[in-house]
């Protein structure tokens, strides 16, 4: 999106997208219940530990997957670019889709005389599902664009890339638990307006 030489327009696009995401997240923050659960028998520490270990494991598996992706792209360098990209993003969809099938861990029951009984998830299934679904959204966008590389011209590719920004941002925000309220729609509108700055610039070859 930034191109080889970042310009003021490029930075404005990034700033607008970030602002749109912030507005979407603000909507979620305003709706969340801010009840603070007290630590009982180290349950909070256990949940944090499980989530941290999961993050490290997920990063390791992702790095291995990226290495395998590079190997796939180098097996037949004569293949068209759109076909190489299609293989890459298809692997991303399959790999992250498989992660969604992981079994759920037991839930921690926190009981406090000052707070009503709460059921707090260990974090493993929800964290895996969240990261996997985000990656799947991006991979599906990339897969669609890679298929468009063969069918459309340079203008169509740029427009597809711009719409991918909108779909990814709004889609991930919905996955994160946001609802289409006024704040959320404001953020989505900001992201859509940001893509207007991301207009394709097609250079004409003149002899």
In a domain, 200, yes or no: no
Q: Which residue has the higher pLDDT, 87 or 10?
A: 87
In a domain, 35, yes or no: no
Instruction: Indicate the pLDDT class of residue 4, thresholds 50, 70 and 90.
Output: very low
Which whole number is the average pLDDT over 141-167? Answer: 66
Give the per-residue pLDDT at 94. Answer: 72
In a domain, 90, yes or no: yes
Residue 106, pLDDT > 60, answer no
Residue 34, pLDDT > 50, answer no
In a domain, 16, yes or no: no
Give the per-residue pLDDT at 40. Answer: 41
Among 32, 17, 30, which residue's Cα sits nearest to residue 170? Answer: 17
In a domain, 174, yes or no: yes
In a domain, 19, yes or no: no
CA distance 12 to 198: 10
Which percentage of the chain shows pLDDT scores above 90? 0
Q: Helix and strand tally (H, E) in the chain?
A: 6, 2
Query: For residue range 54-76, what is the model confidence (pLDDT) as tens digits?
Result: 555 555 555 565 566 566 666 66
Residue 88, pLDDT > 50, answer yes
| Helix spans in 76-123 (H) | 81-99
Instruction: Indicate the pLDDT class of residue 186, thresholds 50, 70 and 90.
Output: confident
Give the per-residue pLDDT at 165. Answer: 64
Per the structure, the complete domain to which residue 151 belongs is given by 42-180
Which whole number is the average pLDDT over 43-47? Answer: 50
> Over the range 113-134, which residues count as b (16 or more CB within 10 Å of their CB) and which as e?
eeeeeeeeebbbbebbbebbbb
Residue 107, pLDDT > 60, answer no
In a domain, 29, yes or no: no
Mean confidence (pLDDT) of the chain? 59
Query: Residue 103: helix, strand or coil by DSSP?
Result: coil
Which whole number is the average pLDDT over 16-40? Answer: 54
In a domain, 109, yes or no: yes
Instruction: Indicate the pLDDT class of residue 197, thresholds 50, 70 and 90.
Output: low
Total structural domains within the chain: 1
């Amino acid at each position: 999106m930034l191109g080889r030489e970042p310009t003021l327009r490029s930075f404005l696009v990034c700033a607008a997208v970030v602002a749109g995401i912030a507005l979407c997240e603000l909507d979620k923050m305003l709706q969340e219940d801010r009840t603070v659960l007290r630590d009982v028998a180290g349950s909070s520490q256990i949940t944090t530990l499980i989530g941290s270990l999961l993050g490290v494991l997920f990063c390791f598996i992702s790095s291995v997957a990226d290495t395998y992706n590079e190997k796939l792209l180098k097996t037949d360098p004569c293949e068209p670019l759109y076909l190489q990209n299609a293989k890459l993003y298809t692997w991303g969809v399959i790999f992250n889709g498989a992660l969604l099938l992981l079994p759920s861990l037991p839930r921690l029951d926190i009981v406090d005389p000052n707070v009503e009984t709460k059921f707090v998830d260990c974090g493993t299934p929800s964290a895996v599902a969240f990261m996997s679904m985000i990656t799947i959204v991006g991979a599906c966008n990339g897969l669609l664009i890679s298929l468009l590389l063969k069918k459309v011209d340079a203008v169509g590719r740029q427009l597809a890339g711009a719409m991918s920004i909108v779909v990814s941002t709004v889609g991930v925000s919905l996955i994160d638990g946001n609802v289409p309220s006024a704040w959320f729609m404001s953020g989505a509108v900001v992201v859509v307006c940001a893509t207007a700055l991301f207009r394709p610039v097609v250079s004409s070859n003149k002899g």
